[in-house]
Chains A and B, each alone.
Chain A
Amino acid sequence: MSQKVLLNTKEVNIILHRLACQLIEKHLDFSNTILIGIQPRGAFLAKRLTEILKEEYQISDLKLGLLDITFFRDDFRRSEKPFEANQTQIDFLVEDKNVVFIDDVLYTGRSIRAALTAIQSFGRPKSIELLTLIDRRFSRDLPIQPDYRGRQVDAINNEKVLVKWKENDGEDAVYIEVKS
């Protein structure tokens, strides 16, 4: 197995700031917007973006939720490994709000398909957008594309994209791992 760096700490930081600015461009003061981190890995990105928006761009009225999609996946009993559920933390209704899904890697699009179903349990959003740090091109099973993307990569199927976060993995970086 070999690993190569796709993004280092500095590049991740620049991208996070760009994504934050793109969100501001579209959502201005976020008064009718809800950010939703997709559990488990999207939560790190969502929290990081929230911090940047609050501290560096003084957006105080930010609503952040975390959505677990385990029970909405379409591969229950089809996957080799059992799923472990994570916490869903959405303390508000999304009815008529502009929702932004936040996840670290967009690959087949099936997680986002599950999230689109799962979010309906909390109301009917006005719109849903997708923000992803890494967009793996040419690997989609479903017609789902991001509205905001950090970096697009052409990883092939035996390659794995690993997103690491300081608070969980000790560093901010993105690697591509090739299974040999």
Chain B
Amino acid sequence: MKELSVNHLLGIKYINKNDINLILETADQFKEVINRPIKKVPSLRDITIANIFFENSTRTKLSFELAQKRLSADVMSFSSAQSSVKKGETLIDTVNNILAMKVDMVVMRHSSPGAAHFLSQHVKASIVNAGDGAHEHPTQALLDSYTIREKLGEVAGKKIVIVGDILHSRVALSNIFALQMQGAEVKVCGPKTLIPQYINSLGVTYEPNLIKALEWCDVANMLRVQNERLDVSYFPNTREYTQQFGLTNEILNNLNKEIVVMHPGPINRGVEITSDVADGNHSVILDQVENGVAVRMAVIYLLASKIQN
């Protein structure tokens, strides 16, 4: 009988390969559940979950909420824009007030790296990190691995290139950890100013040329330029970025192989990826969104089974 080695999902670097396998295998069962005529199971009837988002989110927040509802958990969601955080309340106070209402699990997105880890040390609830600054976004990496596994059979031995703003991307970091743990090879590609200096120490190589990177890979994960996190100018302008690192149908057609194109969303159409690629045959972007619900159901289910009754 298997269970997770952790009580919280704070990041991929805190879990191991067995945990990833267990989550992805459990997600298989939930994917079948969410394709039934009635898409709901009663497992988490007595669990209450708070989703607290201190940063904007559409996909992740909706995906988590839907996953929780499909598992029959009681759900409350809040965004910091409408909360007392604006009145000066600290993070621990906010969360402890929520927990006083008998909440078992907290899903949190926060702009500070390590916020989820900090919270897990100070409050009594199971914590799921839904993105902490430029640090980690573990459920995104898990759903990306799930999608690769679904399309290519397995992750081990596959070559994945992550293109774009690696420096500010929590998706990139979590993906690097998850893919390497499962035995995949990872390259990054993008403007040198948006590649972290220490990238080699993660066992990842840098390829400045998009075409070369695509010719090497089985999967290209296109990331958005996170304009909201760019404190200084990292590249001359968007047009130049698009010319060098934007993925077009023409580039894909000139490759002598088929690759899978992923994007965690939100897409800036015409910048890192053109519309015809995003909506084309190579793209698995909407599969990623569907798989996100199944993977998050698996994470929440497995963590909830470890909450003391």
Interface residues of A (CB under 8 A from B): 68, 70-73, 76-78, 81-88, 93, 117-118, 120-123
Complex partner residue of B1 from A72, A82, A87, A93, CB under 8 angstroms: A82
Task: Point out the residues of chain A lying under 8 angstroms from B309, CB to CB.
Answer: 77-78
Complex Cα distance A87/B25, Å? 10
Residue numbers in B under 8 Å from A77 (CB-CB): 46, 304-305, 307, 309
Contact in complex: B36, A122 (CB < 8 Å): yes
**Bound state CA distance, A123 and B36, in angstroms?**
10
Q: Is the CB of A84 within 8 A of B2?
A: yes
Which residues of chain B are within 8 angstroms of A84 by Cβ–Cβ distance?
A: 1-2
For residue A78, which residue of chain B has the nearest CB? B309
Nearest chain B CB to A114 CB, angstrom units: 9
Q: What are the residues of chain A within 8 A of B100 when measuring CB–CB?
A: none
Q: Known contacts being A76-B43, A81-B1, is A93 close to B305, with CB within 8 Å?
A: no
Please measure, in the bound complex, the distance between the C-alpha atom of A86 and the C-alpha atom of B284, giving whole angstroms: 26
Contacts of B29 in A (CB 8 A): 68, 70-71, 85-88
Query: Which residues of B are in contact with A by a Cβ distance under 8 Å?
Result: 1-3, 25-26, 28-29, 32-33, 36-44, 46, 71, 301, 304-305, 307, 309
- Which residue in chain A gives the minimum CB-CB distance to B104? A77
CB-CB under 8 A from A123, the residues of chain B are 37
User: Does the CB pair A72–B37 fall under 8 Å?
Assistant: no
Nearest residue (CB) in A for B41 is A71
Chain B interface, DSSP helix/strand/loop, else mixed: loop
Residue of A nearest to B25 (CB): A85
Cβ of A112 to closest chain B Cβ, rounded Å: 16
| Chain A minimum-CB-distance residue to B72 | A71
A70 surroundings in chain B (CB, below 8 A)? 29
B32, A88: Cβ atoms closer than 8 Å: yes
Could you say which of B26, B28, B42, B304 has the most chain A C-beta atoms within 10 Å of its C-beta?
B42
A-B interface, 4 closest residue pairs, ranked by CB to CB distance from nearest:
A71-B41, A121-B38, A82-B3, A85-B29
Q: Are A71 and B32 in contact (CB under 8 A)?
A: no
Q: List 16 A-B contacts (CB under 8 A).
A: A71-B41, A71-B42, A71-B301, A72-B41, A76-B44, A78-B309, A82-B3, A82-B305, A84-B2, A85-B25, A85-B26, A87-B32, A88-B29, A88-B33, A121-B41, A123-B37
CA distance A82 to B302 in the complex (A): 9
A85 to chain B, nearest CB (A): 4
B43, closest chain A residue (CB): A71
Cα–Cα distance between A61 and B116 once the two chains are bound (Å): 55
Q: Which residues of A contact B32 (CB under 8 A)?
A: 87-88
Set of chain A residues within 8 Å of B39, measured between Cβ atoms: 121
A117 to B37: give the CA distance in the assembly, Å: 14
With known contacts A71-B301, A88-B29, A93–B37 Cβ distance under 8 A: yes
Q: How far is the CA of A14 from the CA of B123 in the complex (A)?
A: 60
Give the chain A neighbours of B3 by CB distance below 8 A: 82
Which residue of chain A is the closest to B28 with respect to CB atoms? Answer: A87
Closest residue of chain B to A75 (Cβ to Cβ) is: B309
Given A83-B305, A84-B1, A85-B26: A71 and B33 interface contact (C-beta under 8 Å): yes
A143 to nearest B CB, angstroms? 20
Report the Cα distance A118→B40, complex, angstroms.
9
Interfacial chain A residues near B38, Cβ < 8 Å: 120-122
Cβ of A83: which chain B residues have Cβ within 8 Å of it? Answer: 1, 305
Residues of the B chain whose Cβ atoms lie less than 8 Å from the Cβ of A76: 43-44, 304-305
A118–B25 Cα distance when bound, in Å, is 20
A residues in contact with B307, CB < 8 Å: 77
